[in-house]
Homo-oligomer: A and B are copies of this chain.
């Protein structure tokens, strides 16, 4: 059960960083959908390593390959299995270091849970690389949501102390996606983008890493969707976000700022405008009581600095139980934020598609 997510649209993840493949099963995709591998590849390309000089030197083309569920270029309603093959595998570092617990890595937790049988190569099952599967699923989910005008857009909101505090114009998210894709760090703030880039370059030279935040905005999501209580949109999105390695916090709307606000400030007044019930502002982030209000859904996640760094660190040899200080080797991103942007979008799409299928709002057969 650990590797499945969703009710009607259910994804099941498998594969390891240095194994043969990484993959995902998509159960519950409506039949009759035009299936275009390029749509998936485009999303994968935004997540893949080696996009720029700022990412890991592991070179992977990450080509999506389909094993089942599509016939005559249409989805059939059967489970879709998508994989990518691992090509540029170099496990030599991991062999040498396997008994040293990498700080803030899964090594010790996994050792206790799986008794030392985990595949440690490239963090194995716990590698951020497994999110490639999430992205492939999300590409299809996004494609369906887009038919209903629903656009999901995430971007780098901060890297270290460089914070983009401008409120983005959300009336044209597709335009923002274009702008974002011109930035190496997936920022939509041209000036700050450069500074962020320099910051990352700096920590890279230091063999260190840096954290950041990602903002996600969803437009045109209809009001009255999602469930109350345990099936709230906030519950499901947050559950999905914490499945992404390195994410350590999430807030909806104004989020943590709400702690310092009065009700009279935080409450979003209702207004009828152009015949549509809406709120004058959107501090709630488009969700109240777990259910969508029709306003844009907005949330922010924090990405911790990559745990894999090249500076000497204190740690323990799990077999000899000695305290040591070592310098870990391996290939890694000095800042994983820009690549996670795509994963955040994908998992959000997976959640929202499921909520609309649960609700009966999306047909099980597309005629197109």
- A169 proximity list for chain B (CB < 8 A): none
> With the chains together, A182 CA to B232 CA distance in Å?
34
Q: Which of A53-61, A146-154, A205-213 contacts B (4 or more CB under 8 A)?
A: A205-213
- Is the Cβ of A277 less than 8 Å from the Cβ of B160? no
Q: Which of A41-49, A136-144, A185-193, A308-316 contacts B (4 or more CB under 8 A)?
A: A308-316
- Is the Cβ of B12 less than 8 Å from the Cβ of A118? no
Query: Does A345 touch B at the CB level, under 8 Å?
Result: no
Per-residue B-contact encoding for A17-33, CB less than 8 Å = 1, 0 else: 00111010101100110
Contact A108-B223, Cβ < 8 Å, known A2-B229, A19-B68, A271-B316: yes
Q: Which of A19, A78, A119, A288 has the most CB of B within 10 A?
A: A78
- Is the Cβ of B251 less than 8 Å from the Cβ of A249? yes
Query: Does A330 touch B at the CB level, under 8 Å?
Result: no
Query: Does A89 touch B at the CB level, under 8 Å?
Result: no
Query: Does A69 touch B at the CB level, under 8 Å?
Result: yes
> With the chains together, A272 CA to B118 CA distance in Å?
22
- Is the Cβ of A249 less than 8 Å from the Cβ of B245? no
Query: Does A74 touch B at the CB level, under 8 Å?
Result: yes
The number of chain A residues with a CB under 8 A from chain B is 155
- Is the Cβ of B2 less than 8 Å from the Cβ of A104? no
Query: Does A338 touch B at the CB level, under 8 Å?
Result: no
- Is the Cβ of B8 less than 8 Å from the Cβ of A229? no
**Distance (whole angstroms) from the CB of A165 to the closest CB of chain B:** 13
> With the chains together, A303 CA to B228 CA distance in Å?
17
- Is the Cβ of B15 less than 8 Å from the Cβ of A8? no
Query: Does A129 touch B at the CB level, under 8 Å?
Result: no
- Is the Cβ of A114 less than 8 Å from the Cβ of B248? no
Query: Does A252 touch B at the CB level, under 8 Å?
Result: yes
Cβ-defined partner of A231 (8 Å) among B1, B23, B259, B323: B1
Cβ-defined partner of A223 (8 Å) among B109, B261, B304, B363: B109
Per-residue B-contact encoding for A292-309, CB less than 8 Å = 1, 0 else: 111000000011111111
- Is the Cβ of B104 less than 8 Å from the Cβ of A315? no
- A313 proximity list for chain B (CB < 8 A): 264, 267, 269
- A15 proximity list for chain B (CB < 8 A): 67-68, 81
Contact A117-B13, Cβ < 8 Å, known A228-B126, A258-B305, A314-B270: no
Cβ-defined partner of A3 (8 Å) among B79, B112, B306, B362: B79
**Distance (whole angstroms) from the CB of A263 to the closest CB of chain B:** 4
- Is the Cβ of A161 less than 8 Å from the Cβ of B260? yes
Interface positions, chain A 38-94, Cβ under 8 Å from B, are 67-69, 71-72, 74-81, 83
- A12 proximity list for chain B (CB < 8 A): 4, 12, 25, 27, 79
Cβ-defined partner of A227 (8 Å) among B2, B105, B223, B241: B2
Closest B residue to A101 by CB, please name it. Answer: B270
- Is the Cβ of B291 less than 8 Å from the Cβ of A3? no
- Is the Cβ of B293 less than 8 Å from the Cβ of A108? yes
Besides A263-B307, A263-B308, 13 other CB < 8 A contacts? A2-B27, A14-B68, A101-B277, A108-B223, A108-B288, A109-B289, A112-B223, A112-B292, A126-B228, A235-B239, A248-B255, A256-B256, A259-B304
Closest 10 pairs (CB-CB, A-B):
A112-B224, A249-B251, A106-B289, A209-B263, A109-B291, A360-B360, A269-B314, A115-B365, A2-B227, A234-B242
Q: Can you name 12 A-B pairs with beta carbons within 8 Å?
A: A2-B229, A74-B117, A104-B263, A106-B228, A109-B293, A110-B289, A160-B262, A211-B262, A248-B254, A261-B305, A266-B305, A360-B364
